[in-house]
A and B are shown apart, each in its own frame.
Chain A
């Protein structure tokens, strides 16, 4: 009777453990850009561009496209974000516009640099909602939105960024002294930082006594087996091997002692219940 009971407890706990381990694992986030042609006036009036006329940006309207009737209905089927003429933004945001034009994203958009990815080169509209962009965002809000903004296209870089101090502190915990994507790369200049000199300059804005070795700290560290030609393949391999060894150590030690503790508990409970 008594040994039955402890066996039952054992089986029950094991089943619970299996259940718990099966329940972990979340659904991947889905990024979708749903295009709607309805502009909500209430939300528009709460945004940064509240005071503006539609024609301030939709210059085509005032330029006479409208005088010939409704704009070409084919436009409905086009991706408005990609086809919009963003020179309109320049009139009021010359600094951002010019910075953007000198950055990697504009190079890729204009074809100066080949796009090595499946993502479109971002225009103003990929990163900002022209109609509903909230006004006067604080640094904390700007940081918080970046993971989503840059993450649409740079999923891997965002994921790795969130695995070390800067990302955890800035993006997840709202620490404004830590570094966000744009603190290192710039929002519009988009510096690649693959050259150590440029990276060092950036690090030194917050770590004034950083030396060039510091840039060898991988902000976007891959802890997987790298493709042979991948950048930092040697370091990735080193990190991967270390990760595997550490995991074996942690799982081995904890596994052994948890099992030890568990059967000890069963034995003690058994002794108690059966009075031996």
Chain B
């Protein structure tokens, strides 16, 4: 009794509701997805912590923090190690896409795919109107437009930040066949795009997934892989409704 009372004081209402109702949960992300997400998360934190003190090397504390990491050289090793982990995380995703297409013979252009479609544009438009109080909340499919952007931005970042990072890692090698000024461009792109990625993750991604009042304090789906029936129906309505037509597959996806 005391326990439930105190927890209802501390926990937001929707979490208490979740605790009380018998939960029906479904798998949204499999182990492969979750591991690759975890790798991305850890490696990006490592990448940011190890090199932002260099980018903002004249800031207060940059030197202290660098020394805590064992100096600029050591921070560089952490940075490169993290970059490799990030690469593995991305590769895991590509392998999964290959598996879906080649083995499972699934189309990656369907409504439950992460590939953008015209509907994402109209969803965005409608969502903006919804913010202004002038429309209903859009009904999303398996992936919302911002989730697709989150996902694809990683590959965009990997191409630009990863590519330029290799140039900075092995400048003498690349300078054998490229003009030296390319390294200046690489440094610029690496630094600015990293700022973009960090600025995006720390505000937009964190807010969209965790800090929104209806999700606060944390959205566990990406870590546990499980989504409750209630959340599924609310956040990915179209997919949920489509699933109702396929009870066998729905049962398969249920968490036992």
Contact = CB atoms under 8 A, between A and B. Distances in A.
Contacts of A247: 192
B184 A235 contact: yes
A76 interface: no
A218 B187 CA distance: 11
Contacts of B53: 173
Contact of A272 (B62, B168, B180, B213): B213
Given A209-B172, A221-B184, A172 B58 contact: yes
Contact of B62 (A173, A250, A265): A173
A216 B180 contact: yes
Interface stretch (A57-65, A101-109, A181-189, A236-244): A236-244
B196 A210 contact: no
Contact of A168 (B57, B130, B180, B184): B57
Contact of B58 (A162, A177, A257, A261): A162
B133 interface: yes
Contacts of B171: 207, 214, 217
Given A214-B180, A264-B212, A246 B192 contact: yes
A218 B62 contact: no
B63 A172 contact: yes
Q: Chain B interface mostly helix, strand, loop or mixed? A: helix
Contacts, number: 130
Nearest to A167: B57
B229 to A, nearest CB: 22
B222 interface: no
Contact of A214 (B71, B131, B175, B213): B175
B23 to A, nearest CB: 23
B63 A174 contact: yes
A221 B188 CA distance: 11
B176 interface: yes
B66 interface: yes
B184 A239 contact: yes
Q: How large is the interface on A (under 10, 10 to 19, 20 to 34, 35 or more residues)?
A: 35 or more
B185 interface: yes
Interface in B53-96: 53-55, 57-58, 62-63, 66, 71-73
Contacts of B212: 264-265, 268
A54 interface: no
A198 interface: no
Main secondary structure of the interface of A (DSSP, over half): helix
A15 interface: no
B126 interface: no
A239 B180 contact: no
Contacts of A165: 54, 168, 187
B184 A178 contact: no
B97 interface: no
Interface in A172-210: 172-175, 177-178, 207, 209-210
B99 interface: no
Interface stretch (B28-36, B202-210, B236-244, B246-254): B202-210
A129 to B, nearest CB: 25
A271 to B, nearest CB: 8
B115 interface: no
A195 to B, nearest CB: 14
Given A254-B199, A258-B204, A264-B212, A217 B192 contact: no
B219 interface: no
A267 to B, nearest CB: 5
A269 interface: yes
A99 interface: no
B196 A172 contact: no
A249 B194 CA distance: 12
10 contacts: A173-B53, A175-B71, A213-B179, A213-B180, A216-B179, A218-B184, A246-B189, A254-B199, A254-B200, A272-B213
Interface of A: 162, 164-165, 168-169, 172-175, 177-178, 207, 209-211, 213-218, 221, 223, 235, 238-239, 242-243, 246-247, 249-250, 253-254, 257-258, 260-261, 263-269, 271-272
Interface of B: 53-55, 57-58, 62-63, 66, 71-73, 127-128, 130-133, 146, 168, 171-172, 175-181, 183-185, 187-189, 192-193, 195-196, 199-200, 203-204, 207-208, 212-214
Given A173-B66, A177-B73, 16 more contacts: A165-B54, A165-B168, A169-B72, A173-B57, A213-B175, A216-B181, A217-B175, A235-B181, A242-B188, A246-B188, A249-B192, A258-B203, A264-B127, A264-B207, A268-B214, A272-B213
